[in-house]
Every structure is written in C-alpha cells, then in structure tokens.
Copies of this chain bind each other. A is one copy, B any other.
Amino acid sequence: MDEGVQVTPVEPGLRYEVFHTDCLARDVVDHVTSRWGVWVLISLRTNALRFYELRESIHGISEKMLSQTLRVLVQDGLVWREVEPTTPPQVTYGLTDFGREIGEPLRELFDRITTRLPQEYKPVS
C-alpha cells in the first residue's frame, strides 16, 4: 500500500512520483493550488479578462501577487497572455486548453464546497 499511495505509473517501467519533492507535476499542482492561482483560474474559466478586471474580480489580491501568479501560470502553459501595444497598453489573459482542462475539476471542487457550506459565517481562527 505504501507503493500504491505515492506512485502513479504512467507506462510500464516509467513511474510518476508526484509525492516527491523534485517532481515537475508537483510544482504544477503547487502553482495551481497556490493561494491566488485557484482564483485566477476560476475567474478566467468563462472568458478572458484584462489585468485590472482580474484584480477587481479577486477580492484582496495585490497587483504584485496577481502579476506574479499570472507569470507562473503562463510559464506552466495554463494561461495565455496577449498584449495590445496601444496607449494605454491592454493586456488580456485567458485559459489555454490545458488551463481549461485543469480549471474544470477546480471549478467542481469550488462548487462542492460552496453548496455544502451553509451561508453562516463563523470565526475559523
């Protein structure tokens, strides 16, 4: 069981040790599930958004973290970035195929949590 839990076989002989620290997939998972990555991906699920639209959609995010998060997601191939070199410049972000593929279960996760929780607020501390 030790094996079954931490190893996902990809091909016979090839093993994907996602629970290992030096695994690429683990990095991507970490990025996707990062504090702000989740919300960026969910925000972009329906349509592409401008930078400031994202900032306003995601309550509490700072410009620094937004651009930082976006940069990582673009690097991972989850989000595309398009620059319109006008003045003022317009930059639009949207989900790639990979991003949409990832966003779906994320959205599902998100939905299951919200429908499950009552709308009461309690101090979590």
Contact = CB atoms under 8 A, between A and B. Distances in A.
Interface of A: 1-2, 4-6, 8, 10, 14, 16-25, 27-30, 32-35, 38-39, 43, 46-47, 49, 53, 56-60, 75, 98, 101-102, 104-106, 108-110, 112-117, 119-122, 124
Main secondary structure of the interface of A (DSSP, over half): helix
Contact of A46 (B5, B60, B98, B109): B5
B110 A18 contact: yes
28 contacts: A2-B57, A5-B46, A5-B53, A6-B43, A6-B57, A6-B58, A16-B119, A18-B110, A19-B39, A19-B43, A19-B57, A22-B121, A24-B121, A27-B124, A29-B113, A30-B35, A32-B113, A33-B38, A75-B124, A101-B112, A102-B109, A102-B112, A102-B113, A104-B108, A105-B108, A105-B109, A105-B112, A108-B108
